[in-house]
Chain A
Amino acid sequence: MKHLQLGEFEEIVLLTVGVLHGNAYGVTIKDEIEQRLNREVTIGALQITLRRLESKGFLKSNLGESTESRRGRPKLFFEITAYGKKALDYSKESRDQLWKALPKLVLKLK
């Protein structure tokens, strides 16, 4: 199922949105990824990915409140859709399948 395929960064973002459950907006998502995975994320890359996932239907967004440091600009909260969940499942399943098929011998080679 091609249209359920996810890119690596897309998968990470989608998973992080899930992890943050209800508190996922630009700043928290970026922080979360950077902390957990110890990798640098630029806002540009993150925003583009978020929008793309949204346009594919894996995420949905709604405007939230603002804070003082945002000078009146609203937060945009993201949430995984059922379709997005399906994509994650598909992604996991396909990896698991591959993992299972992997001969034990290969894993021992380090």
Chain B
Amino acid sequence: MQRVEPPRFILRFLKWFCKPEYHADIEGDLLEYYDRRVADLGRTQANLRLCKDVLLLFRPGIIRSATIHQPLTHNGMIKSYFIMGWRNLWKSKLYSTLNVLGLTFGMVCFLLIGLYVYDELNFDTQHSQGERIYRVITHEKNSSNEATTVAAAGYMLAEESKHAIPEVAQTTRMQRVGRANLVDPENPVNVQETITVANEHFFQVFDFPFIEGDRRTALKEPYSIVVTEDLAMRIFGTKDVMNRNLQFNHMTNPVKITGILKSHPKNSSFTFTSVLSESTRYANEGFLREAESDWASTDYTVYTLLQPDANPDSVSRKMTQLVYANASLEPGTKLSYSLQPLKDVHLKSEGITDGGRNSNVDSIPQGNPVYITVFFFTAIFVLLIAGINYTNLTTARASSRLKEIGVRKAIGAVRGNLVRQFLVESMITTVIAFLVAVLIVSFLLPAFNNFVNKNFSIFTSVGLRFWAAAIGLIIAIGLLSGGYAAMLLSRFNPVSLLKGLKLKSRNDFSIRKALVVVQFTISTVMIIGTIVLFMQVRFLNNSNLGFDKDLMVVIDVNVVKARSNFEWVKNEMSKVGTVQHVSVSSHVPGEWKTLVRAKLKKEGSPGDFQIAYAIAADKDFLNTYDIQLLSGRNFRNANDSSAILINEAAAKILGITDVSGDIVEIPQIARGSSFGPLYDDVNTSFKPRVVGIVKDFHFQSLRAKIEPLIIAYHDNPIYPIDYFSVKIQPQNIQATLDKLKSIMVANDEREPFEYHFLDDQLARFYIEDQRSQTILGWVALASVVIACLGLFGLATYAAEQRLKEIGMRKVLGANLFSIMALLSKDFVKLVLIACCFAFPIAWLGANKWLQEYAYHIDIDWWIFALAGVIATGIALLTVSYQAIKAAIVNPVKILRSE
């Protein structure tokens, strides 16, 4: 007779709540009753009664206590997992080494890149109120519909918005007004410093840490200055400089040090070394009155501190209203304001001009969000590749552990035990790899710091959050990569394992294949990326710029006398034997400060004004820079002060084909972001005559197209001269520099002699690209190595598995080559499939990146071919070692046993 079984869930419920020592006999009683009731009353009634009985058993005295049961056995098992895990690692040293090595490589790359990315993402997060600090951005559209976006605003906007807008808790203004010599009056050493001016609330909005001084009052009084410790060390040689005096060479009164700041960390957008109190300037009534009518200028960098929970969008709308209510705007001009969170200043300022500064002050250094994203993903991918390795090797080796798993299951291990054992094994491997990786990172860190120009130290610079995240991710990788193997291996039926049946592992093998394809796809994309970056950077550094940049010393004009007395300086310099040419100009090709722009059109022509960049230069400029004159003539003498040269691009927009003395009208120029009239009288224009056309040359970085350019004579109303360019000969460079310096100092003893080599300066345009190329190159290398370690393991395994087959084939007459082909073919196929995926991805990515450059290399087919050959070649090399080893074994040895 078929026995009626009670519903399982009820008994399970009983088991769940009942004290274990009572459970067995109570359940027995219940079952006895159940059978009897089924016979007497039928199944439904029996079930109901059973339910009732169990529910009535659910009472204190029978319910067990809530503590975890069997704690001792559990601990014992964990200990056993560790022992077994350790033994297994020792037993197969080759595979363990491959696993640990792969993971270590991956983690080193991940940690280094992670440090870099973390640092970039955490720019300007030192300020305790940072979440509430916003930078005011002005969006201006003038009457001819030209839009500018500047990170700056007017004096009164900062002054009034904290009174008029309740959400604004505080505001502060900052200006970088220029560069000047800042010296200790008792011991003057001329060094140029950027002059940063801020009002008294500056240190209440930002908390730059003070070593000495009171942050509330430091900038209150006129002629107060706050300096950083490293500036104090540079000028005075000591940090104990409170209340001492400093002298700016452009000011008559000395300034008093009222505070000493700690030096800025590397991840700060603020690079000032000193801050002068704004009241120094506005002690002058006239200046103050002028400032108090300034609502809509872009002369100040304004930061606002909002109340908690304030909505920045509504605040910026109110600011716009406030300005419209008070400012008298030119007709046709449209203004609006927006607030940029402080943490976005570093990475999300694309298209925003850095305002509130003189054009001879460098703008705030920006991060490149594209590279950050790319790095972030490569870091994750490398770790992923390493994780995949582990999974592949472990599942591949399943067969050698089948007996072990079978025996474990037979003597009572449940699936959970096996899963846990495999996980513990993978965690041991991961932890070892992690420790080794941290060790390697700490060794590599000094070189890495040097290379990315940061200042990381392994435990202090990034704080707990980074390490918590890194360790979390690494544990996740350990669990994930061990998890698949654990699930797969613990699933098998112990009987078939112990009988020695071959596993039907087709399904599992295809997953492994897919993973190899993923690994090689990523690696190939990285290889292509590296090649493209390398080619582009080489192209940037080597392409013909249209002028001579080598051995060019560019000396800044920093003192008045160097400008007024330049003829004498030039003359003295050209007497030096190793100097070939000397020229003076307002800007140099590859200018690192802001170039001046001019509005211009041909006199009398209808049409709108065009915009061209403007440089002022003397008659030696073309010679010194070896710029080709296409038609017309060069500057000759002082009578040429109203003559200009133009480049081809400018000739095109002006509609000038050959030089016939056309007059050009220049009413407005822009030194920063916005145009203003050139002369005090708005209606007059500078009207120079075009005397020559020069060949286009790359006066900006190769990211930008060659724009229209006019070269005015050094004596012109647009911009004065600012540099000496000295073309020198390659011998005795240091001696030449010394002579140049002595000439400059002889001209004016306050001369700081600031100079650059032009080619170094030009290379700085692409330094980020160069850096990325190197990082990406190393990461690509690591990813290929890791993928190959995995492939090596898989090939070893495949060769082991097919030893018998190979033996048979050899006996039947196969030669070495055909056996190698047999073993390599599978893997090469995978790599080729990976290439098919990688090529389009890499092509899209590279194309998108190259679009940033107006001048770039073409992506040729050979780049892909090369990457494909590298990937396949390395894979083949890896596999063939195992293939050859398998192919030369004596078949007798293999086939003898069985």
What is A's interface to B at a CB cutoff of 8 Å?
Answer: 25-27, 42-45, 47-48, 51-52, 63, 66-67, 69-71, 73-76
Which residues B16-49 have CB closer than 8 A to chain A? Answer: 22, 24-33, 35-36
Name which of B51-59, B211-219, B270-278, B599-607 contacts chain A.
B51-59
Smallest CB–CB gap between B2 and chain A, Å? Answer: 14
Smallest CB–CB gap between A15 and chain B, Å? Answer: 20
Smallest CB–CB gap between B300 and chain A, Å? Answer: 82
Given contacts A43-B26, A48-B61, A76-B25, contact A71 B56 (CB under 8 A): no
B57 touches A70 (CB 8 A): no
What is B's interface to A at a CB cutoff of 8 Å?
Answer: 22, 24-33, 35-36, 53, 56-59, 61-62
Given contacts A51-B61, A73-B25, contact A42 B56 (CB under 8 A): yes
The residue from B35, B57, B61 contacting A43, defined by CB atoms under 8 A apart: B57
How far, in angstroms, from A45 to B62 measured CA to CA in the complex?
10
A27 touches B29 (CB 8 A): yes
Task: For A73, give the chain B residue with the smallest CB separation.
Answer: B28
The residue from B22, B28, B35 contacting A66, defined by CB atoms under 8 A apart: B28
B22 touches A27 (CB 8 A): no
Task: For A43, give the chain B residue with the smallest CB separation.
Answer: B53
Task: For B56, give the chain A residue with the smallest CB separation.
Answer: A44
How far, in angstroms, from A66 to B31 measured CA to CA in the complex?
11
Would you list 28 pairs from A and B whose C-beta atoms are within 8 A, ordered by A residue?
A: A25-B25, A26-B26, A26-B29, A27-B29, A27-B32, A43-B33, A43-B53, A43-B56, A43-B57, A44-B53, A44-B59, A47-B26, A47-B57, A48-B61, A51-B22, A51-B62, A52-B61, A67-B32, A69-B31, A69-B35, A69-B36, A70-B29, A71-B28, A73-B27, A73-B31, A74-B25, A75-B25, A76-B25
- In the complex, chain B residues whose CB is within 8 Å of the CB of A70: 28-29, 31-32
- In the complex, chain B residues whose CB is within 8 Å of the CB of A69: 31-32, 35-36
A48 touches B59 (CB 8 A): yes
How far, in angstroms, from A52 to B58 measured CA to CA in the complex?
16
In terms of DSSP, what is the predominant structure of the interface of chain B? Answer: helix
A47 touches B62 (CB 8 A): yes
How far, in angstroms, from A51 to B25 measured CA to CA in the complex?
12
- In the complex, chain A residues whose CB is within 8 Å of the CB of B62: 44, 47-48, 51
Smallest CB–CB gap between A107 and chain B, Å? Answer: 39
Smallest CB–CB gap between B35 and chain A, Å? Answer: 4
How far, in angstroms, from A71 to B29 measured CA to CA in the complex?
10
Smallest CB–CB gap between A36 and chain B, Å? Answer: 18
Smallest CB–CB gap between A81 and chain B, Å? Answer: 19
Task: For B59, give the chain A residue with the smallest CB separation.
Answer: A44
Task: For B53, give the chain A residue with the smallest CB separation.
Answer: A43
How far, in angstroms, from A74 to B22 measured CA to CA in the complex?
11
Smallest CB–CB gap between A58 and chain B, Å? Answer: 16
Smallest CB–CB gap between B554 and chain A, Å? Answer: 96
The residue from B28, B30, B53, B58 contacting A74, defined by CB atoms under 8 A apart: B28
A44 touches B57 (CB 8 A): yes
Smallest CB–CB gap between B38 and chain A, Å? Answer: 10
A75 touches B28 (CB 8 A): yes
- In the complex, chain B residues whose CB is within 8 Å of the CB of A71: 28, 31
A45 touches B56 (CB 8 A): yes
Smallest CB–CB gap between A71 and chain B, Å? Answer: 6
Task: For B23, give the chain A residue with the smallest CB separation.
Answer: A73
- In the complex, chain A residues whose CB is within 8 Å of the CB of B56: 42-45
Greatest chain B CB density within 10 A among A25, A52, A66, A71 is at A71
How far, in angstroms, from A66 to B33 measured CA to CA in the complex?
14
How far, in angstroms, from A48 to B26 measured CA to CA in the complex?
11
B30 touches A43 (CB 8 A): yes
How far, in angstroms, from A74 to B24 measured CA to CA in the complex?
7
How far, in angstroms, from A96 to B22 measured CA to CA in the complex?
37
Known: A66-B28, A73-B31, A76-B28. 13 other contacts (CB 8 A): A27-B32, A27-B33, A42-B53, A42-B56, A43-B33, A47-B22, A48-B62, A51-B61, A67-B32, A70-B28, A71-B28, A74-B24, A75-B25
How far, in angstroms, from A52 to B22 measured CA to CA in the complex?
12
- In the complex, chain B residues whose CB is within 8 Å of the CB of A43: 26, 29-30, 33, 53, 56-57
Smallest CB–CB gap between A26 and chain B, Å? Answer: 4
How far, in angstroms, from A70 to B32 measured CA to CA in the complex?
5
- In the complex, chain A residues whose CB is within 8 Å of the CB of B29: 25-27, 43, 70
Closest 8 A/B residue pairs (Cβ) = A73-B28, A44-B56, A26-B29, A76-B25, A70-B28, A69-B35, A44-B57, A43-B53
Smallest CB–CB gap between B57 and chain A, Å? Answer: 4
Smallest CB–CB gap between B52 and chain A, Å? Answer: 8
How far, in angstroms, from A13 to B362 measured CA to CA in the complex?
97
B59 touches A73 (CB 8 A): no
Smallest CB–CB gap between A28 and chain B, Å? Answer: 10
B25 touches A26 (CB 8 A): yes
Task: For A63, give the chain B residue with the smallest CB separation.
Answer: B25
How far, in angstroms, from A101 to B167 measured CA to CA in the complex?
92
Task: For B61, give the chain A residue with the smallest CB separation.
Answer: A48
Smallest CB–CB gap between A47 and chain B, Å? Answer: 6
- In the complex, chain B residues whose CB is within 8 Å of the CB of A47: 22, 26, 57, 62
Smallest CB–CB gap between B62 and chain A, Å? Answer: 6
- In the complex, chain B residues whose CB is within 8 Å of the CB of A51: 22, 61-62
How far, in angstroms, from A27 to B59 measured CA to CA in the complex?
19
Smallest CB–CB gap between B106 and chain A, Å? Answer: 52
- In the complex, chain A residues whose CB is within 8 Å of the CB of B22: 47, 51
How far, in angstroms, from A71 to B6 measured CA to CA in the complex?
11
How far, in angstroms, from A25 to B33 measured CA to CA in the complex?
13
Smallest CB–CB gap between B668 and chain A, Å? Answer: 97
Smallest CB–CB gap between A20 and chain B, Å? Answer: 14
How far, in angstroms, from A25 to B35 measured CA to CA in the complex?
17
How far, in angstroms, from A78 to B53 measured CA to CA in the complex?
21
Task: For A71, give the chain B residue with the smallest CB separation.
Answer: B31
How far, in angstroms, from A67 to B28 measured CA to CA in the complex?
9
Smallest CB–CB gap between B481 and chain A, Å? Answer: 42
- In the complex, chain B residues whose CB is within 8 Å of the CB of A45: 56
Task: For A26, give the chain B residue with the smallest CB separation.
Answer: B29
- In the complex, chain B residues whose CB is within 8 Å of the CB of A52: 61
How far, in angstroms, from A27 to B33 measured CA to CA in the complex?
7
Task: For A70, give the chain B residue with the smallest CB separation.
Answer: B28
How far, in angstroms, from A58 to B555 measured CA to CA in the complex?
108
- In the complex, chain B residues whose CB is within 8 Å of the CB of A67: 32
Smallest CB–CB gap between A74 and chain B, Å? Answer: 6
Task: For A48, give the chain B residue with the smallest CB separation.
Answer: B61
Smallest CB–CB gap between A62 and chain B, Å? Answer: 11
- In the complex, chain A residues whose CB is within 8 Å of the CB of B61: 48, 51-52
How far, in angstroms, from A26 to B53 measured CA to CA in the complex?
13
Smallest CB–CB gap between B47 and chain A, Å? Answer: 15
- In the complex, chain A residues whose CB is within 8 Å of the CB of B57: 43-44, 47
How far, in angstroms, from A74 to B62 measured CA to CA in the complex?
18
How far, in angstroms, from A51 to B31 measured CA to CA in the complex?
20
Greatest chain A CB density within 10 A among B27, B28, B33, B56 is at B28
- In the complex, chain A residues whose CB is within 8 Å of the CB of B27: 73
- In the complex, chain A residues whose CB is within 8 Å of the CB of B25: 25-26, 63, 73-76
Greatest chain B CB density within 10 A among A25, A47, A48 is at A47
